[in-house]
Structure 1
Amino acid sequence: KVYIVDEVHMLSRQAFNALLKTLEEPPGHVKFVFATTEIRRVPVTVLSRCQRFDLRRVPAEMLEAHFAGVIAKEGAEIEPEALARIARAADGSVRDGLSMLDQALAEANGGRIAADAVNEMLGLADRLDIYDLFEALMRGEPAAALDRFDEMYRAGADPGLVLQDMAELVHRLTRAQVVPAEAEDAALPEAERVRGRKLAEALSLPALTRVWQLVLKAIQEVNAAPSAKPAFEMAMLRIAYAAGLPTPAEAIAQLRSGAPAPQSKAEPPPRSAPAPAPRVEPPPPPEEDAAGAPAGEPAPPAGEMPASEPPQPVELPDFEAVAALFEERREPRLYSYLVHDAHLVAFEQGHIALRLGERAPADFAVDVGERLTRWTGRPWKVSEADDGGGPTLAEQQEGVRRDLFERAKQHPLTQQTLEIFPEASIADIRPIQPGEALPEAPEEQDDER
């Protein structure tokens, strides 16, 4: 007997433990075949008792040839562009590609499968529309970019897939800058090769790198947003405004030369200037010598600004201080994850190791490290651990609270009070602040009153 278990990583820990005994001493007449796309989620104890075969993604050209053979056997017709779209959307998976091809055959109903029909079926945008949208963004024309996307959205394009196509385009243009032969890929249509070559020549590598980071951030925002279209449009506006900004090297050169920094092409019209603030006379400067420097101090070299003292790094003694810093800086989302979902594994100045709960987002460690580096003036690295770690800060606070309640219950005065009032219970415990007066007991009232 041959048992094929697909998506084996979805088995629970208890199921793997039950299966492990059979894998250790398998019967001679039984064979198990496990298939998974997430090998890291399979326990090591199971992997060590299996023969592993890594199946690589099938190239798009091979998928096109295979799907063309299937179409010929079915006696159907398909446009070459439609076949290429399905092969690219399959992302190296023969099974997924055949499922999409079968859906396209059903929708064609015996007719010729057109590229437009495949685009509508998969929620894809026309490749040239992606180029139009990208060029409008790189020109810093947000209105034109939004109009183009509205047309694509009405035609059935999915915002998330449009961003993925745009990321693929940025990646192809970047490779074409490093390896010029990439721009002449014969697998691409002639129109895409021509426009891609022009874009690769017009855009610099730092500009493409910046757009790549913005597109990746936009993909995360669109996937997390309750409505994809507004999130997509806000991301496109951000890219359009950043397109006209100088690269870091250009900004440094402009600062050194004293030239004014150019504004983004998508910069909105300036608002009316506010009323000037009342002038405050500065204190009289110290006496200067003939060189213009304060008396008793050497004058700085010509053309150089006096160096200011670098800010002193902020020391964070423990993980509680890290969480307190996020609360002080008004980062409620990250503060909540630090308190409720972060199990501390190791802590030292500049490095924190955490085991994160399921609620923590994928980029949590990166966000925490970046903010700590910016706030403290020293580099911080936050890494994730698969196991270990103590209780969360919330669990520690709850433990302290339970211990405080238990000690209050054991107090003789509390026990005496509960004996007099058996239905009473401790609702809350609040420490008395220094200098705070104790509440006065209510005066006893006469029974006759």
Structure 2
Amino acid sequence: MSDSPDIFAAGGVEAPAAPAPSANQPYRVLARKYRPSSFAELIGQDAMVQTLGNAIRRDRLAHAFLMTGVRGVGKTTTARLIAKALNCIGEDGQGGPTIDPCGKCEPCQGIAEGSFIDVIEMDAASHTGVDDVREIIEAVRYSSVSARYKIYIIDEVHMLSKNAFNALLKTLEEPPAHVKFIFATTEVNKVPITVLSRCQRFDLKRIKADQLSAHFAHIVDKEGVKAEQEALDLIAQAAEGSVRDGLSILDQAIAHADMDGEGDGSGEVRAVQIREMLGLSDRGAIRRLFGQLLTGDSQALLDAVDEQYRIGVEPLSLMNGLLSLSHQVTLYKVGRTTDPTLSEEARSLLKDWSEGLSYPVLHRLWQLLLKGYQEVQQAHMPREACDMALLRVQCAADMPDPGKLRKMLDDMSDSGRIDAPPPMENTPASTSGEPAYAAQSEPSGQSQELSDPQSVATSGSEPDTQPGPEISEPEATKPDASPASFSGIVDLVGEVSVTKQSILKADIRLIEFAPPKIVYEAVRPISPADLNQISDILKQETGEIWSFEEGTGTPKPSLDEQAELEKQAAHQKILEMPMVKAAFEAFPDAKLLESAESSDQITEETQQPHQTRSSLA
């Protein structure tokens, strides 16, 4: 019996109205609603699409594919599209693998709905064990039920255990002809190399901001929502190359915009709402703040930071915006002007800054902002840390770079405001293991004896003591093996024992040198056993028996003390140089640092006048 409306008409009864579709259909978020259903809708991955299309047309299909990239760029979507492409039979049921699946045949529709029996999706995060992989190994032996290929899609494959990977290796290397594997992962570095070598790998790229912005504009047009282009640009920037992240933000922005409309979705998505919603800094405000950093107006700078903080901009976001702008200015400096989201006003400002700031200033600005960003990130009081970091940048902007400082000093010297530096023939030269200004120039071809009574006097820092008795010099007939001075004794012992050499240098103040007798005063007590060992070394090296006697008289400073006096004299000599004095007048808090081979000290060269440097404490 038919249920047509004619039956009701024949009986004179009005037919009941057809049931209306439910108005309470569940809402699908934009990220799911606008998931690409074909390779043509997949944005930003042209190289991968071309490779897959050529492989399908030439029948050169790999048995395993690996999709890697950051979140939200289409890894799982691409895996499903590959499954469609391989199993599509066309609307007439006679088609073969194609890069443009029809989307209407049974395999295409079943894969899109996630109900196709021959396409098995597995989340490796919840199926990590070898038992889960063993089920796959057992199942691949059986042919597909209705499709051309049985396809296994394993998402987040890096979560599989080591044993699970090992169990899969043999099957992955030589699977049956009807089986294809498609892996997806965000952390490809955690996938064993033995698995990577068995797969055809595709690295999905981050989507460019201009592509995302155009894609979002297309979506809001379909949704019947008005949106400012600047708002879409902000969402594209915040998405950081992820389509899913961007669509989630857009979904939230549309819901937020309804508050300004009639509640029917007619509210416009505006840039100011996006900034408030995400706590983003206004790019225009960041440019104004950057300009205040360069002009040195501290009061205006702090007022601008207060205003941004009051409207909800986080200090860390503020520092991040300044870093990004500093990077943009530097790119403009080198000729990279490819940001399509910038207004003409912004482009003009960037051009002016790039022409007015030198590379050293831009690099110093970047380093200071980066240091400030790290401090704000770690600070318990980020608001205060942001103020201090920006004020430090302002103060540093007034400091001349080393090149300009050198030019200033040269100009002052040429104009007679300071005396030209004296010739540097007698400037102490750097020696190995000693500070640069502690070394002592030596006569050509002859090493200077540290025990020489004149050695301290030449340094300009002779201690206030009476001269001691003359040290007897060895006769000319002495054998060559016998050292001619106390420093020669020290060097001879050092060739055998560095420890014993350090005792002679640090603990002995020489009173009389009369080979083979040495009279001394001890800086600190010396063990008789150490002196006996030193005597044994000298006897072995010279053939004579040397004695050490602790006596009285006017001692000379120890060798280490002499070296320290010479260092102080050289230091003072450098400080008295006209150019160094001028540098200290320009920087009152500067300090003269010593050079050393250790990594925690700054090299202080004094070979030439222009190499003398100071560092702010």
- Cα distance change of structure 1 residues 60 and 305 upon mapping to structure 2, 3 Å threshold: farther
Q: How many angstroms apart in 2 are the aligned matches of 1:34 and 1:252?
A: 58
Structure 2 counterpart of 1:340:
none
Instruction: Give the counterpart of 2:382 among 228, 238, 241.
Output: 228
SS in 2 for 1:134: helix
Structure 1 residue 119 and structure 2 residue 119: aligned? no
Structure 2 counterpart of 1:250:
404
Q: How many angstroms apart in 2 are the aligned matches of 1:72 and 1:218?
A: 42
Contact 2:326–2:365, Cα closer than 8 Å, also in 1? yes
- Cα distance change of structure 1 residues 55 and 304 upon mapping to structure 2, 3 Å threshold: same
Alignment of 1:12-411 (within 5 A): 15-26=161-172, 28=176, 29=179, 31-36=181-186, 38-109=187-258, 110=265, 111-179=267-335, 182=337, 187-258=341-412, 306-310=426-430, 312-313=432-433, 372-375=598-601
TM-score normalised by L of structure 2: 0.41
Q: How many angstroms apart in 2 are the aligned matches of 1:305 and 1:127?
A: 57
Contact 2:230–2:271, Cα closer than 8 Å, also in 1? yes
Give the counterpart letter for 1:31 in structure 2: F
Give the counterpart letter for 2:121 in structure 1: V
Give the counterpart letter for 2:168 in structure 1: T
Shift of the alpha carbon at 1:95?
1.5
Shift of the alpha carbon at 1:92?
1.6
Alignment of 1:434-445 (within 5 A): none
Shift of the alpha carbon at 1:101?
0.8
Contact 2:323–2:366, Cα closer than 8 Å, also in 1? yes
SS in 2 for 1:223: helix
SS in 1 for 2:211: helix
Contact 1:313–1:376, Cα closer than 8 Å, also in 2? no
Q: How many angstroms apart in 1 are the aligned matches of 2:202 and 2:243?
A: 17
Which 4+ runs in 1 deviate beyond 6 A?
none
Give the counterpart letter for 2:255 in structure 1: A
Contact 1:57–1:92, Cα closer than 8 Å, also in 2? yes
- Cα distance change of structure 1 residues 177 and 75 upon mapping to structure 2, 3 Å threshold: same
Q: How many angstroms apart in 2 are the aligned matches of 1:141 and 1:371?
A: 42
Shift of the alpha carbon at 1:126?
1.3
Q: Could you list the per-position Cα deviations for residues 33-92 of structure 1 after superposition, in whole angstroms to 9, with x for gaps in the alignment? A: 2221x4334443443333221111212111111001110111111011101111112122
Contact 1:2–1:30, Cα closer than 8 Å, also in 2? no
More deviation, 19-28/91-100: 19-28
Give the counterpart letter for 1:132 in structure 2: R
Give the counterpart letter for 1:123 in structure 2: G
Q: Could you list the per-position Cα deviations for residues 140-180 of structure 1 after superposition, in whole angstroms to 9, with x for gaps in the alignment? A: 2333212101100111112222222211211111121221x
Contact 1:312–1:377, Cα closer than 8 Å, also in 2? no
Q: How many angstroms apart in 1 are the aligned matches of 2:185 and 2:271?
A: 33
Q: How many angstroms apart in 2 are the aligned matches of 1:374 and 1:162?
A: 33
Larger Rg: 2
Contact 1:142–1:240, Cα closer than 8 Å, also in 2? yes
- Cα distance change of structure 1 residues 93 and 301 upon mapping to structure 2, 3 Å threshold: closer
- Cα distance change of structure 1 residues 32 and 126 upon mapping to structure 2, 3 Å threshold: same
Q: Could you list the per-position Cα deviations for residues 109-161 of structure 1 after superposition, in whole angstroms to 9, with x for gaps in the alignment? A: 22101110001111111111101111111122333212101100111112222
SS in 2 for 1:157: coil
- Cα distance change of structure 1 residues 123 and 309 upon mapping to structure 2, 3 Å threshold: same
Structure 1 counterpart of 2:505:
none
Shift of the alpha carbon at 1:221?
2.1
Q: Could you list the per-position Cα deviations for residues 268-289 of structure 1 after superposition, in whole angstroms to 9, with x for gaps in the alignment? A: xxxxxxxxxxxxxxxxxxxxxx
Q: Could you list the per-position Cα deviations for residues 393-415 of structure 1 after superposition, in whole angstroms to 9, with x for gaps in the alignment? A: xxxxxxxxxxxxxxxxxxxxxxx
Contact 1:313–1:377, Cα closer than 8 Å, also in 2? no
Greater RCO, CA 8 A, separation 6+: 2
Contact 1:311–1:377, Cα closer than 8 Å, also in 2? no
Contact 1:60–1:87, Cα closer than 8 Å, also in 2? yes
Q: How many angstroms apart in 2 are the aligned matches of 1:19 and 1:235?
A: 49
Q: How many angstroms apart in 1 are the aligned matches of 2:421 and 2:323?
A: 48
Q: How many angstroms apart in 2 are the aligned matches of 1:377 and 1:17?
A: 54
SS in 2 for 1:52: strand
- Cα distance change of structure 1 residues 306 and 128 upon mapping to structure 2, 3 Å threshold: farther
Shift of the alpha carbon at 1:250?
1.1
Give the counterpart letter for 2:244 in structure 1: R
Q: What is the aligned-residue identity percentage?
A: 41
Q: How many angstroms apart in 2 are the aligned matches of 1:200 and 1:39?
A: 39
